[in-house]
Structure 1
Amino acid sequence: MSETRPYLHLWGKANKDEFGKLTWHPLVYHMLDVAAVAWIWLEADKQLRRIFTDLFGWNEYSLQTFGLATALHDIGKASLGFQNKIPEIAKEANIQYSGAFNKHFDHGAFGGEWILNRMETEYPNKEGILFNETFQNLWKSSCWHHGSLILNYENYSKDSYNEPKFNPNQGLEISQNRIHYFRSEIIKYVLDAITDYKAEIKTIEKISASDLRFFAGFVSVCDWVGSDSSHFTYCNISLDPKVYFHNAKEKAKEALSEFDLISKIQKPFMRFQELFPEIKTPRPLQKTIESINFTGKPYLLIIEAPTGEGKTESALFAHSKGYNKGFFFGLPTQGSANQISNRVNRFLIHNLKVNQKAILAHGTAWLNREVKEDGKYGSSKNNIENTAESELSEWFFSKKRTLLAPYGVGTIDQAMLAALNVKHGFVKLFGLSGKTLIIDEVHAYDSFMLPIIERLLEWCASLRANVILLSATLPSSMKERLLCAYSTKKLIFQRDKYPLISYIEKDSENLLEHSNIQTRKEEIISIQFATHEKGNISEIANKILESIQNEGNVLWICNTIQKAQQVYSYLKDYKTQTSDTFYLKLFHSRFKFKDRKSIEQEIESLFGPENSNEKRSRPKRGILIATQVAEQSLDIDFDYLVTDIAPIDLLLQRLGRIHRHNRINRASRFSEPSVLILIPASLEEFKSFSSMYYEFTIAKTLAALSETPKIRLPQMYRNFVEEVYSTKIPKKESFKLGEIDLSIQVKDWNNLYDKLEKSQEELDTKGSKGRIPSVKTNIEDILQDTLLSEEDNAYFVAKTRDGDSTLQLIPVHSNENKYLLDDTLQLTEKIPEKLSLQLQKFLAENTISVSSPRSFVRNILKSPTFLANGSTLTKWQNKLNKIGPLKGKYFILLDQDRTISHSFGKNEYHIQYDTEFGLRIQTHQVN
């Protein structure tokens, strides 16, 4: 039996087969597998190569340079610390080292430490690409491939383990010298496989800190793909370096094709009706996009226009006018992302004709995935060195893939995380490169999120990503910051025109603006005002009931779930007492995922747009009670609106839900659009009406509304938004809103503004804290920004997604000592070792997202384990904590009546769930 080649002694991947027998893949082959993915991807993907060319330059040796830097990403595994994770393999290679047994060892960090501090000693010949400073920076960044920038390469072990150094005074009988020998042979094998010794490799002339982040993201994905054992099967046969690398490249072609990572170049559409033949008459907004000359350079496009003017189609058309890798469509909420994903998928299949759907990405989007549950992507219980494999699994089953897929739709937090110091943030940056990032409702993001979006836009420009921002009501102060973030210049722009399209290319100082755009229709909306005491809505409710006595459908939007539930309860009692049959529904965010989805579908089926193929069974009389979930993206139309006061931009969004569609069956009483706005009668009552909004903004909204009995749209959009969101303090101290006289003294105005300014400054500072450095950061400073801690990471993720901390609860009720979920599943003592995909989906579909009351959420997040309150449920909770898609979801145990009470300090919370009201949380003070 021939002796094993030196380069085959070290393992890179290992597993146990179904019989428990250890199998493993040599480190050098795994390194070449990953290099093959990089090589083929760059060779086959013209869009990706264009980005590499822009960032690094390109010459005849570039594939060798990037392939080599990618291959060497795992050089840290050629160490005693890593190899002794499997003692039997280490023993066979005669590199056993007891000091490394059961020690924490970060092979990525050690790889960087070896390059910095050890390579020069071990390699006396300082010539060649390995000692080129620019190449070494690229090589070190490849060592970040498990998600984190490494601040201190010497901290490769938390257990004070020190990797022994090569001793030139001794031979191969000592472990550290033998591992040095194997490492040298592996590097030589990799060089022989990838490089051409007939000529000196010309490496990259210069490299920036931003280039390194991009490359780290690229290598991470190559590592995930190269770790897929279904394509890169384990092999222990000695092969010629170039033969193995050739074979690996053939496997890489298959893997990249299956994972759909190679960009498919779509032909540009120059005319709107080419792309949307079903739209017989494009709207003026869409024709204006058609007139813009997209030169192929990265650009920022801002479309400001009223609801219903075709902004979504305009953005998709703008994207389709150029060559790029795809797009990600980011929205403020999960509900709006779900809604827009249906439209985007129809566009991809019927208009763009790419025959693939967009990946949907947000907290519950994985429920819609179409990946087979065949064990291929599941984490293996037998896997020994499973970091990359488990990351591959997570990538396909979670949100990591979203920005890598050609087309994605999701909550904007998925893109914003690319600009934060979070694990694998640079993978998201890489995923955005060369794509179009579309951000809808951009005005909806607060002072916390704005600095993160600014940093994101700066990086998008550097990575050849186009950005399209959509808004009906974008304040000029916010627009100024967004323009500056992408262009890096302070630009002068029109502040009074509306609708308005603004376009600027990267590195240009020429901002192109298109105004004088006609809108679909002009509306005059009558305003009425009313007020009520806290908790007493009977008078308002009776007035609404009277208005639909014969016909009509009303949308009533409340600012809090508690108030919406109270209004619904009153109207439900009325129906019961009078045997009335009008349609009544409650809709808010505190339903189980499956129940909320069902309600959304029901509402859209009843109140959505009419079309020739399907007649709506619209109720003759009906009331939908909703919260802010009805503001955005739901394409629904009502006759009349009742709404709590809200900031002017959100108020205008709500107005877009009445008289939205042209209908011949509109109730005659509601032939003209009209709204009833519920407002506080005094400054002291602001909190009971709109505690979630800044009081200064609400006060200025009321001041603006007091100036006119009717709202004329779109003429008044711009003036309303600019007036409300300017820092100017009104001089008037009294306002008349219908029959209500509201008084706000000068000192009160000043106090409200001071509170607003202080809060926004704090949020801006917090948002800035977690950002990655500017594109312009020096390489020497790139590691100065610490990765967010797990606690900070969770905080930023929650804030970027929902604007506040959010709790995910799974209600379980007890009945005769049984734990039941949704009456159909019993959680028993025997917990499956691996939860099936069906069971994971079932658990997730029964999850409720809870962000209020805030005191309840804060207390639960501090001590969530009490919710399980039982050994069986506690075991199930521990199981959930280990499963990626279910991590962060908590069981809450209810009694057989689906209720429970919990006390925190002076507050007692009474909790109840049913499919009609959703989750009810009532707070009581206890002595």
Structure 2
Amino acid sequence: MGNAIPKYFKYWGKAEKDGSYHLLPYHCLDVAAVGWILLNPKKSLCLRVAAQLGVEPGWLRDFFVFCLALHDMGKFSRAFQGLITDLSPDLVKANPRMQYTERHDTLGFWLWREHLSPQLEKPLSGNGEWLKKIEPWLEIVTGHHGIPPKKSGGRISNFFEREDEEAACHFVLNIHSLFLSGFAHAALRNNGLKQRLKTVSWQLAGTAALADWLGSNQEYFKYCSEPEELAVYSHKHALPSAEKAIQSMPAKPKTSRFQGLSNLFPFIKQSTPLQEYAINEPLNDRPQLFILEDVTGAGKSEAALILTHRLLSAGLADGLYVALPTMATANAMYNRLGKVYRRFYKSSDLPSLVLAHGARDLSDAFRKSVFLSEDQAADLNYSEGHDEQEQELSATAYCNAWLADNRKKALLADVGVGTLDQALLAVLPARHQSLRLLGLGRKVLLVDEVHAYDNYMQKLLDALLETHARQGGSVILLSATLPQTMRANLVVAFHRGLGDNTSEIHNNAYPLATHLPAAGESEKHIDTREEVKRSVMIEQLEAEEAIIEQIRQAVSKGQCVCWIRNTVKAARASYRTLADCKWLDDEHLHLFHSRFAMVDRQRVESDTVGRFGEKSNHKDREGQVLIATQVVEQSLDLDFDVLITDLAPIDLIIQRAGRLRRHIRDERGNRLRELNAKDRRGTPILYLFAPDPTKDANANWLKTHQKGTQAVYPHVGRLWLTAKLLLKDGKGKFTMPDDARGLIEGVYSHEAEDAITGSLLDASIEAVGKNLMQQSMADLNALKLNKGYTRSSGDWDEESRISTRLTEQESISVALAYVKEGRLCPYAKDTHHEWAMSVVKIPEWEWEKAKQQITATIQKLIEDLKTEVKALRWLEVFPLTNETATYYSAGDGWQLETGESL
């Protein structure tokens, strides 16, 4: 370097509390170096994005890496530099009149638009026209903290001194010489490129965020404050460090060849018809949609994993994300998938499997691959404060907080299991949604229980399917009870993403496999296995006293019983009633609902599966009674001798009936595993707690008996149709799979709903209005992805304010704690991730009431705790003291002393 040191070396880019700092130009080169390796022209990501853009892979890498080197231009702002004023006399001096009131990502975009672009036209006159085309690219890279920059709203003179503008201009010129010497700028003049960029901008934004996080890792990028030539630093430090950072991540595992059912599932001795379909259905070379409809117990999950392995083996996918409706269903699938996912890959490789919530059995290799060592130094936060909107976090610090939420890791893992919510955030204006889209990429998106979502989530799922197809991803949807209108909407959404005309679907058969686009027949009627062909008798119970008597009789016979209540309040009330019965002791009575802290929920769930699951025997089951909510109705492999259920929509009744004598057992409840064995427990009877579905039913038909049920399932007309369909003179019967389609369409079709009249219709119309409102809210909230990665694509806000579900009661995540020696300690003890395991979700109104019990002294402890444990910044904390101990117990979960919610 000559005698004159460029002014851009007078700016810091990263800093620590001990006073050490990393020069801004070097951090920019670090991130560019990571991008250079991530966008290897021979690797899938670069090839895929370049193909969609219609450019050469090498061209894409050269140009996007140049843009990445400009991602932190906003840090040339004197307002930003003034955040830390005592690092070195060699750095620019702070200007106290310039306040840091706008984020540096937005400042960087403003600087380019208002000053750099016009100033650079003359020095880059030979290629000046391309400067007009670069703006959307810089919008992508300056938005590397997960939200696109604001396009307007302030004057750069309020944030930048002339010296800052000159330094930034000089830096851009040198970066252009370093990365774009001899570059084919003419391609930027292609009018179609800007439009195509909108489609892939989301993947590039995710790549920019990823590059910034990796490039901020001090384990590989050591701080440097001594000026040297940019080219020298890039080749001597940035590129070698980037190589090490990326090499530290586990190599992408190589897919194994699909070798049939027995290799993937050694325990399956005889395949089901649906599994045979999955083995033999021809694949094509495009993103494809499978919808598998069959009864509970037909092997849908295994069939889906067979298709997944075939897609992976054929090079049509790079991984898998399994999306489920609840944490309980995700836990169950995680356990099942843990036994098989390694067989997708070569035995010598170590693929990552991650659960998208909680902290169970996280892969060590993946934890390291998420770019954070336990001893990695956290960069100094740029500003302090507990309000996230007032606090800007450095890339590493925000990365730490982001990664502390285990649900988000699943979209980066080779194989992830979690709730659908985590995938839906990819199409909502949530911070770092672009990284979620990048993580989903060419993964197979497997959505189980696809019928289980409300209109809001269904509409968001449509948007996700469209986007996933456009990114080149395949989708597998599973359901036992999918209405035809819902199936049609899902097909239309996927085809929209492919840019194809929608194939007509018209087959009403059941079970049914739909494959689009298909090499042959797109809809195929599939038989189901003999063991799940059965009739279920229905008996109506109108009074709770009759239900208690039914439970007493079952217990006296040594049978196990489950009563599925529709609300937590009702479940607790029934539990307390049974606890007072002398004929039932505490060892035989159990409660399972959603309002337990994670550590207790996992225990209760594990106990439930052990007591009533596949491996249970008569000793585990005899005389056991479980009072549960909807947590048991989906995906948990449970089997009860006697099942009682509150009235619910027909699809949920069918789901719940799938937990009634699910396995083949003898008279005492022991498993019978002989081939073609028959269940010896007699005809299964489902007891339905419901009022009589009379013709003159009015709006209060159900509310009088089950107020909570109507609050949870407000379309009372569909509940009435369900009861009417199932009951005649208090009894009924359905046969699976023969009656499945008729039952679903008998409640959800337009023709069926014509039977709803009078005040019952008025109440139902109100529910329909809410459904339409939910769809409108989904349309309003979902990103307009066709606009590209830009601020106007959505109502951007912090993730904590973005909802993937619309409910009557908003939920709040609360970490439970207790006071020990003047400090707050996590409720969960002797476990990994103790704070995550201490979290319980409760209704917002309950939190508003509970937090009034927090004293000023305790509030100070909470504030200190949140400063110490960064992941708690986005959670509420509730201490269990002598005064508040009754709010939570390991056996009952969360409850207020009075005024329980639904």
| TM bracket (short chain) | 0.7 to 0.9
Q: Which amino acid in the other structure matches residue 885 of structure 1?
A: A
Cα offset for 1:555? 1.4
Under a length normalisation based on structure 2, what TM-score does the superposition of the two structures give? 0.86
Please, which of 74, 77, 81 is the counterpart of residue 76 of structure 1? 74
Cα offset for 1:509? 11
Please, which of 915, 920, 923 is the counterpart of residue 895 of structure 2? 920
SS of residue paired to 1:405 = coil
Number of the residue aligned with 1:228: 217
Please, which of 617, 638, 654 is the counterpart of residue 652 of structure 1? 654
Counterpart CA distance in 2 for 1:396 and 1:914 is 29
Cα offset for 1:89? 5.5
Please, which of 318, 328, 332 is the counterpart of residue 325 of structure 2? 332
Would the aligned equivalents of 2:41 and 2:61 in 1 still touch at CA under 8 Å? no
Once the two structures are superposed, residues 247-283 of structure 1 have per-residue CA deviations (whole angstroms, 9 ceiling, x without a partner) of: 42332222123344x6444245264444334433222
Counterpart CA distance in 1 for 2:657 and 2:289 is 29
Counterpart CA distance in 1 for 2:331 and 2:892 is 22
Cα offset for 1:320? 1.8
Number of the residue aligned with 1:512: 522
Number of the residue aligned with 2:738: 715
Counterpart CA distance in 1 for 2:285 and 2:506 is 25
Question: Is 2:568 the counterpart of 1:552?
Answer: no
Please, which of 896, 902, 910 is the counterpart of residue 882 of structure 2? 896
Would the aligned equivalents of 2:512 and 2:525 in 1 still touch at CA under 8 Å? yes
Would the aligned equivalents of 1:11 and 1:24 in 2 still touch at CA under 8 Å? no
Spell out the pairing of 1:766-845 with structure 2 (5 A cutoff): 766-775=777-786, 777=787, 782-789=790-797, 794=800, 796-797=802-803, 799=805, 804-810=809-815, 821=818, 826-829=819-822, 841-845=833-837
Please, which of 442, 445, 449 is the counterpart of residue 441 of structure 1? 449
Cα offset for 1:859? 5.9
Once the two structures are superposed, residues 646-684 of structure 1 have per-residue CA deviations (whole angstroms, 9 ceiling, x without a partner) of: 111111111111221122354598322211111024653
Q: Which amino acid in the other structure matches residue 191 of structure 1?
A: H
Would the aligned equivalents of 2:324 and 2:330 in 1 still touch at CA under 8 Å? yes
Counterpart CA distance in 1 for 2:399 and 2:148 is 19
Q: Which amino acid in the other structure matches residue 147 of structure 1?
A: G
Cα offset for 1:366? 7.7
SS of residue paired to 1:514 = strand
Counterpart CA distance in 2 for 1:455 and 1:380 is 37
Cα offset for 1:721? 0.8
Counterpart CA distance in 2 for 1:231 and 1:870 is 43
Spell out the pairing of 1:861-876 with structure 2 (5 A cutoff): 861=848, 865-876=851-862
Would the aligned equivalents of 1:306 and 1:472 in 2 still touch at CA under 8 Å? yes
Question: Is 2:599 the counterpart of 1:594?
Answer: yes
Cα offset for 1:620? 2.3
Counterpart CA distance in 2 for 1:11 and 1:679 is 71
Flag the 1:106–1:595 CA change in 2: closer, same or farther, 3 A.
closer
Cα offset for 1:773? 0.4
Cα offset for 1:455? 1.2
Counterpart CA distance in 1 for 2:142 and 2:95 is 24
SS of residue paired to 1:700 = helix
Number of the residue aligned with 2:386: none
Q: Which amino acid in the other structure matches residue 284 of structure 2?
A: T
Spell out the pairing of 1:294-693 with structure 2 (5 A cutoff): 294-322=283-311, 323=315, 324-350=317-343, 352=345, 353=347, 354-362=349-357, 364-365=358-359, 370=364, 371=367, 375-377=374-376, 379=378, 387-398=394-405, 399-488=407-496, 489-505=501-517, 512-521=522-531, 522-532=533-543, 537-574=544-581, 577-578=582-583, 583-610=588-615, 617-666=619-668, 670-681=681-692, 683=698, 684-687=700-703, 688-689=705-706, 690-691=709-710, 692-693=712-713
Mean Cα displacement is larger for which, 197-206 or 70-79? 197-206
Please, which of 245, 251, 256 is the counterpart of residue 255 of structure 1? 245
Q: Which amino acid in the other structure matches residue 550 of structure 1?
A: K
Flag the 1:830–1:645 CA change in 2: closer, same or farther, 3 A.
closer
Counterpart CA distance in 2 for 1:442 and 1:797 is 19
- How many residues align? The count is 846
SS of residue paired to 1:722 = helix
Cα offset for 1:560? 1.5
Would the aligned equivalents of 2:13 and 2:25 in 1 still touch at CA under 8 Å? no
Counterpart CA distance in 1 for 2:894 and 2:185 is 68
Please, which of 828, 833, 845 is the counterpart of residue 858 of structure 1? 845
Once the two structures are superposed, residues 366-400 of structure 1 have per-residue CA deviations (whole angstroms, 9 ceiling, x without a partner) of: 89575589643574568889511112212332244
Number of the residue aligned with 2:676: none
Counterpart CA distance in 1 for 2:891 and 2:761 is 44
Number of the residue aligned with 1:183: 168
Number of the residue aligned with 1:705: 726
Would the aligned equivalents of 1:129 and 1:203 in 2 still touch at CA under 8 Å? no
Q: Which amino acid in the other structure matches residue 73 of structure 1?
A: H
SS of residue paired to 1:677 = strand
Spell out the pairing of 1:89-128 with structure 2 (5 A cutoff): 92-94=90-92, 96-100=94-98, 102-123=99-120, 124=122, 125-128=124-127
SS of residue paired to 1:555 = strand
Counterpart CA distance in 2 for 1:808 and 1:199 is 52
Flag the 1:378–1:848 CA change in 2: closer, same or farther, 3 A.
farther
Mean Cα displacement is larger for which, 411-420 or 125-134? 125-134
Q: Which amino acid in the other structure matches residue 92 of structure 1?
A: D
SS of residue paired to 1:223 = helix
Flag the 1:401–1:552 CA change in 2: closer, same or farther, 3 A.
closer
Spell out the pairing of 1:867-886 with structure 2 (5 A cutoff): 867-877=853-863, 879-880=865-866, 883=869, 885-886=871-872
Once the two structures are superposed, residues 805-845 of structure 1 have per-residue CA deviations (whole angstroms, 9 ceiling, x without a partner) of: 11334556xxxxxxxx2xxxx3454579x999989933443
Cα offset for 1:730? 5.8
Counterpart CA distance in 2 for 1:896 and 1:93 is 54
Q: Which amino acid in the other structure matches residue 51 of structure 1?
A: R
Flag the 1:650–1:705 CA change in 2: closer, same or farther, 3 A.
same
Cα offset for 1:487? 0.4
Percent of residue pairs identical: 25
Number of the residue aligned with 2:674: none
Counterpart CA distance in 2 for 1:803 and 1:627 is 17
Counterpart CA distance in 1 for 2:827 and 2:545 is 49
Question: Is 2:42 the counterpart of 1:57?
Answer: no
Would the aligned equivalents of 2:638 and 2:659 in 1 still touch at CA under 8 Å? yes
SS of residue paired to 1:327 = strand
Would the aligned equivalents of 1:423 and 1:787 in 2 still touch at CA under 8 Å? no
Number of the residue aligned with 1:908: none
Flag the 1:200–1:766 CA change in 2: closer, same or farther, 3 A.
closer
Cα offset for 1:642? 0.8
Counterpart CA distance in 2 for 1:94 and 1:913 is 55
Would the aligned equivalents of 2:116 and 2:169 in 1 still touch at CA under 8 Å? no
Flag the 1:184–1:493 CA change in 2: closer, same or farther, 3 A.
same
Mean Cα displacement is larger for which, 877-886 or 667-676? 877-886
Q: Which amino acid in the other structure matches residue 868 of structure 1?
A: I
Counterpart CA distance in 1 for 2:31 and 2:41 is 15
Flag the 1:499–1:378 CA change in 2: closer, same or farther, 3 A.
farther
Cα offset for 1:794? 4.1
Counterpart CA distance in 2 for 1:859 and 1:831 is 22
Would the aligned equivalents of 1:147 and 1:424 in 2 still touch at CA under 8 Å? yes
Number of the residue aligned with 1:194: 179
Counterpart CA distance in 2 for 1:728 and 1:795 is 39
Would the aligned equivalents of 1:637 and 1:659 in 2 still touch at CA under 8 Å? yes
